[in-house]
Amino acid sequence: MTDRIITIVDGRRANPIPPARPRPAGRVRDSLGRPLRDLRISVTDHCNFRCIYCMPKDVFGPDYPFLPRSAVLTFEEVVRLARVFKDHGVEKIRLTGGEPLLRRNLERLVEMLARLGGLELTLTTNGSLLAKKARAFADAGLNRVTVSLDALDDPTFKAMNDVDFPVGKVLEGISAAAEAGIAPVKINMVVKRGVNEHAVPAMARHFKGTGHIVRFIEFMDVGASNGWRMDEVVPSAEIVRRIHAESPLAPAEPNYPGEVAERWRYRDGSGEIGVISSVTQAFCGTCNRVRLSTEGRLYTCLFATSGYDLRQLLRRGAGNTEIHDAIARIWQVRSDRYSEIRTAETAKARKIEMSYIGG
C-alpha cells in the first residue's frame, strides 16, 4: 500500500506517510493549528567548512559516508516538489546545505524556481564562494541571501570553521551580494560560550549603519555530534544587553507572523539586529517551516529524529495529486514542539544533523 511507505535509506529511518484523511478546507494546518509557509531545501550534504557546532571534524572526517549522486534530488525533482508545496501555501523557499554553493550550477535551480512565480527565494551560505556567484544568483532571481559568519577576527573565526578559512573572503562575498542587488544581506552568528561570545560587540559594531542585519543565534542541540551543553549557550537576552550598553536598542515588530528572529532596532536609526532564541525563548508555537533533505526526505522540525521519504513517491511515478495529498497528511499530523519540551535527556537524542537538512 502506498500509504504505508517505510524504508531505511542511507542509514536514516523513514516514517510511514500517514493514511488518507479528508482534504482540509483552505490552507493546510498541523495538529497545533500552524500553517505551512516556509520550505527549506538542502541541495547538498557536503560542506567545505567543519564548523564545531555543525560538522565537527571528529565526526565528519575524510571517511564520512556522504550521499552518492544517484540519491540526490535532481533540479527537476526539486522544482516539481516546490510547485506542490506552493499549492499548499508555501511563500518562501530557502536553499541550504551543507554548503549550497558546492552544488554545481545552483543558479540554474534558482532560475527554475523563480519561474514558478509568487515565491520569495533565499539562500543560506558560509560565504566562501559567494563573491564568484553573487551576480549569477541575482540574475537568476534570488531575492535574499544569509551569510553565516561567527566572528570578525581571524583567530576566532578559524577556530569556529576549523579549516583555516579567513574572514576577509566571507566579507568579500557579502559585498559582492550587496553590489549585485541582493540586499540587505543577513549575517548569522552562532554564539557559543567560551569560544566567540567576546566577538558579539565587534560584529554588531561592524555592520551597524551598513543596511545589513546581524542575527545572533543561541548555540543549539541540533543533531548528535556537536557536543551541546546548556552551559555553553549564551542567552539572547545577554547578547541584547551587551549590544544595548554600547548602542541603545529598542524592540521592533516582526516582519510577518512566525518570524524566527526577534528584531531590535538601533535607537539612532542606524539599522537593526536580530536574536534567535531557540533554547531560552522557544518559538515553536508559531513555527511554520518544513525541511526537505538533499535526497528528498521531509522533516517537520529542525530537531527531528526521522523524516518522510518523498523521493520514493517521485521516482515510482506518483502524480502531483498523490504527492500533494501525502504532504497534506504529513503536515496535518505534525505536533513538533521540541524547543518547548527540551531537557538534558532529549538533548541526547540521536537527531538529524543540521548539515543534512539545513539550519
pLDDT in tens, 143-188: 999 999 999 999 999 999 999 999 999 999 999 999 999 999 999 9
Q: Which residue segments constitute the domains of the chain, with CATH numbers given?
A: 2-354 (3.20.20.70)
pLDDT for 223 equals: 67
pLDDT digits (tens, 9 = 90+) for 124-145: 999 999 999 999 999 999 999 9
Which residues of the chain are modeled with pLDDT < 70?
1-13, 20-26, 223-226, 338, 340-349, 351, 359
pLDDT for 228 equals: 74
**Residue 11 contacts residue 2 (beta carbons within 8 Å):** no
Question: What is the rounded CA–CA span in Å between residue 100 and residue 293?
Answer: 12
Reported in sequence order, the residue ranges of the chain that DSSP labels E, i.e. its strands, are 8-9, 12-15, 38-42, 92-96, 120-125, 144-148, 186-191, 213-218, 249-251, 262-266, 272-276, 289-292, 297-299, 307-309
Closest CA to 277 of 220, 230, 221: 220
pLDDT for 344 equals: 60
**Residue 239 contacts residue 193 (beta carbons within 8 Å):** no
pLDDT for 79 equals: 98
